[in-house]
Structure 1
Amino acid sequence: MSVSVAPRHPHHSAGLMRGIYLPRAADALASAMSTYGIPLLVLATTNSAALTGAAFTLEWIPRLVASGLAGTIVDRRGAAGIFHLASLGRALALAAGALVLHCHPFGLVASMTVMVLATTTGTLTVFSYIAAETAGAAAGRRAGTRAHRVQAVLLGIEQTATLAGPALAGLLLLAGPPPMLAVITAFSLLAALLALRTPPTPVVPASAPKGRPGAVLLTGWRTIRSLPALGWLVAGLTVSNLATGLLQAASPVIVVKHFGQSTTAVGLVWSAAAGATLLSVTLCRFALDRLGLWPVGATCAALASLACVAAAQAPDYPSYLILIAVLMAAEGGMTVVLRTLRSRLIPPEKFGSTLSATILILLLPFPVAGVLTALTPPDALGHVITACAALQALGLFCAFARLRTDPALRS
């Protein structure tokens, strides 16, 4: 195999760019703008911390509910077609929302429209994400020993989108909700068109018995349990995501109400964090070549724990921004480790179902974080974040202590 790879490398790289990287870039930018822009829109129009937390919850709960169905459909229909349809559906939903908000910019109709958009975009985003991840994992397997480089590029694309998305959404929000939603619609349409170039992925044979999403998730859960390295890493990151999700959900309230900044400053926090994560992913790409998965993952876990504890006690906006950037950069390093590990360990025919189960587990803390934000008084958010940060440190320590001698992370 090594003899045939070298001559085909330029063609392979071009195929990755057209079929994997460009569609993922357009979809990631649309997802980032909607994920961060809709809660900002709720806070700007209602000035309510409770409704902001509720909107965050409404974005993430559908992702949990739809993850099992998304994995089933991707396994049976292939990643490219589902990627195209999900991006197209999100574009249509956003276009309809922009039209409604143009006619009814304020009041009950506007509030209901934004909440419905949070639910709809959250549902369709999980379909496009699982489809894109399945296509990316297939590309990683074709890359062989360079799989971690493919995953690093994909994560870099996502973080670049997260770098531009929140800031762009905040700026467009100054012109009003319809322009912001119109731009997200355009990126969703672009992703739908580019997804037509995505290479086909392995699918479950039509003769295979069809199972319900719950059964598919159970299959994915069993696959995770059969891979101890993947299971421990997913467990540690799930505990960590509670603290990360709480900071993400509470940031509009913390930045606007506690530090007295504008809604644009909230987008700047996550854009700075994405920039730091992009740098971290680039560094991890080379560090993984030299050091391996476990040293890089353990170092990032320690940095994430320390940064989260410090962010809960940040005295002002600049220090808060820097600490969030350090936290998310460390999270990005751990994500590269997770993606490389799952592309290496999960059987291709079970990747969609296992990815659905993995995403379901990893996303569970996010709606919980939204509920905590909605129920916690703004003055008490710091104490809740501190408690979650301590839990994050404990969870990551246990996970990487268990994985210290695991051959899957040492190879």
Structure 2
Amino acid sequence: MISTKARPAAPRHSRPVTYGRVRGIYLPRLTDALAASMATYGIPLLVLGTTNSSSLTGVAFVLAWAPRLCTFTPAGMAVDRYGPARVFRLAAATRALVTGLAAPALAMTDERTALGLVMLLAACAGCLTQFSYVAAESVGATASRDAGDGAHRVQSVLLGIDQTAALAGPAAGGLLLQWDGPSRMLAVIGGLSMLSAAITPRMRHAPRHTPEATTSPAHGWRTGWSTLRALPALARLVAGLALSNLALALLEAATPVIVVQQLGRSSASVGMVWSCAAAASLLAVAACRLMMDRWSLTTVGRCAALLTGVPCFLIAHADSYPAYLTLIAVFMAGDSVLAVVLRTLRSHLIPAEVFGSTLSVTVLLLLLPYPLAGALMAVVDPAAIPTLITVCAVLQCLGLACAFTHGTRPRTHRGRHRRR
């Protein structure tokens, strides 16, 4: 059974000041997640609509995720050294600037140049989203530690915010792209990003440079990796969810091709798939909050793993749009519960002074499948997509079975880390 004993509070510079959770944490998180969701799902859809090529759609998906792998260590270092509020604000403002410049540029260029600009925009948006994500997760972890045994409630709210953004983002992006064109969609992304930067509370004190602060990317990597190795329960769960994310990433990359080209639906239908999935995820997160009050994280996690694994096998054989939409929704519901388990465990086990660096390592491992899925989409024939999904479903089941086979004792793991 997983204990949820609270860790000591984080340094003062990591907390928003004079604001409650809604104004200081939840509202900035919501606006930033909306912008990130629209960019993540809208840009590959924009490429597909422009080129009608599944290979280029896969390339756009790679470019949206690969930069995040390159910036995970700098993001963690920046959060540990300068504080999450400052990093979050700067990342959101920069994304607003990039998308604001891209919108008029696309309207004034030819098709080939526009495609290059969209690919560059995908890379820039992915990089900036990494910084804002690590910063937002650091703030959420501080709130979870302050909540003590109610940490899973805080994490369920944060995940509910993410799923609300996933509910509105793809649908809004698809509709804006279909009816108003790419410029309007990019303008909305930029506006949400600027709003996120504007409403983020400032820090009370300038962050202090503690001995734990990393001084180089290599140092940040070693710090995060050694901390994760000292927490085997967390390491097993991260490995299992990384394999699960491979299946999820492939579904995200393949959905525009499956829905538009194989099922004969519009781009708005692609957004509807993820919006319905987000609605199912919201219901699952609300239910898991009650289940975690009654049962352990491990028990709830095992049920979620089963709920995620079975639909993944069936998705490969879905031959109609309603069936595909329903299976994706069930899959995402289970995946969201697994995310609550991971975030709750992570917020309690990782020491506050190295949270940014360690979080970045876990994020790297969880994001590695996304560019891999995009690369697979770029080289695999569309007819082979169902077979590829089945293979990913097998790997997912094996990884989650390993993650939830062994018991976990966070108190012991925390002690081991301190002795290191």
Scaled by the length of structure 2, the TM-score of the pair is 0.91
CA distance, structure 2, for counterparts of residue 198 and residue 83 of structure 1: 10
- Structure 2 contact 81–214 (Cα < 8 Å) conserved: no
Cα pair 1:245 1:369 within 8 Å, conserved = yes
Are 2:227 and 1:223 equivalent residues in the alignment? yes
Residues of 1 paired with 2:372 and 2:49: CA distance?
23
**In the alignment, which residue of structure 1 is the partner of 2:59?**
54
Distance 2:82 2:213 in 1: 14
- What's the CA shift for 1:395? 1.1
Contact 1:135 1:198 in 2 (8 A): no
Cα distance in 2 between the residues matched to 1:33 and 1:153: 20
Indicate conservation of the 8 Å contact 1:62/1:119, yes or no: yes
**Structure 1 stretches of 5 or more lacking a match?**
3-11
User: Is the alpha carbon distance of 1:41 and 1:163 closer, same or farther for their aligned partners in structure 2, counting shifts above 3 Å?
Assistant: same
**For 2:215 and 2:116, how far apart are their aligned partners in 1?**
35
- 1:215 deviation in Å? 2.2
1:165-223 alpha-carbon deviations (Å, 9 max, x no partner): 0000000002111001001111000000111x166699562566743213212211111
Letter in 2 for 1:313: H
Q: Secondary structure of 2:20's partner? A: helix
Q: Do structure 1's residue 379 and structure 2's residue 388 form an aligned pair?
A: no
Q: Go from structure 1 to structure 2 and tell me whether the alpha carbon gap of 1:35 and 1:154 turns closer, same or farther (over 3 Å shift).
A: same
* Matching residue of 1:9: none
**Structure-2 change in CA distance of 1:208 and 1:289 (3 Å):** closer
Residues 344, 255 of structure 1: CA spacing in aligned structure 2 closer, same or farther, 3 A cutoff? Answer: same
- Equivalent in the alignment of 1:103: 108
The separation in 1 between residues aligned to 2:261 and 2:234, in whole angstroms, is 40
Query: 2:79 aligned with 1:74, yes or no?
Result: yes
Q: Please show how residues 91-130 of structure 1 align to structure 2 within 5 Å.
A: 91-104=96-109, 106-130=110-134
| Residues paired across the two proteins, number | 397
| Structure with more helix by fraction | 1
CA deviations over 1:59-102 (Å, ceiling 9, x no partner): 00001100110000110000000000000000000001001012
Q: Determine whether 1:37 maps to 2:42.
A: yes
* Amino acid corresponding to residue 94 of structure 1 in structure 2: T
- Given that 1:72 and 1:216 are in contact with CA atoms closer than 8 Å, whether structure 2 keeps it comes out as yes
**Which residue number in structure 1 is paired with residue 251 of structure 2?**
247
Runs of 4 or more, structure 1, over 4 Å off, are 198-204, 206-210
CA deviation string 1:277-334 (max 9, x = no partner) = 1111111111111112011100000111101011111121110100000001100000
The aligned counterpart of 2:409 is 407
Q: Name which of 138, 148, 151 aligns with 1:147.
A: 151
Does the CA-based 8 Å contact 1:148-1:285 persist in structure 2? yes
Structure 2 unmatched runs, 5+? 1-5, 7-16, 412-420
AA in 1 matched with 2:360? S
The structure 2 residue matched to 1:84, chosen from 66, 85, 89, is 89
RMSD: 2.0
Q: 1:74·1:82 contact (CA, 8 Å) conserved in 2?
A: yes
Encode CA deviations 1:16-54: one digit per residue, 9 max, x unaligned: 011100000000000000000000000000101000000
What's the secondary structure of 1:401's corresponding residue? coil
Q: Paired residue for 1:194?
A: 199
In the aligned structure 2, how far is the partner of 1:291 from the partner of 1:283? 12
AA in 2 matched with 1:117: L
Secondary structure in 1 aligned to 2:318?
coil
Counterpart-to-counterpart distance in 1, 2:204 and 2:73: 21
* Shift in alpha-carbon separation, 1:198–1:246, aligned structure 2, 3 A: farther
Q: For 1:326 and 1:203, how far apart are their aligned partners in 2? A: 43
What amino acid is aligned across from residue 101 of structure 1 in structure 2? L
1:390, CA displacement in angstroms?
Answer: 0.9
Which residue number in structure 2 is paired with residue 305 of structure 1?
Answer: 309
Counterpart position of 1:317: 321
Confirm or deny that 1:18 pairs with 2:20.
no
- Whether 1:214 aligns to 2:218 is yes
CA change 1:94–1:101 in 2 (3 A) is same
Find the aligned partners of 2:256 and 2:319 in 1 and give their Cα distance.
16
1:369 pairs with one of 370, 373, 397: 373
Aligned pairs for 1:256-271 within 5 A: 256-271=260-275
CA contact (8 A) 2:65 2:126 kept: yes
- Give the equivalent residue in structure 2 for 1:329: 333
Contact 1:76 1:203 in 2 (8 A): yes
- CA gap of 1:294–1:203, structure 2 versus 1, over 3 A, is farther
CA distance in 2, matches of 1:308, 1:209: 41
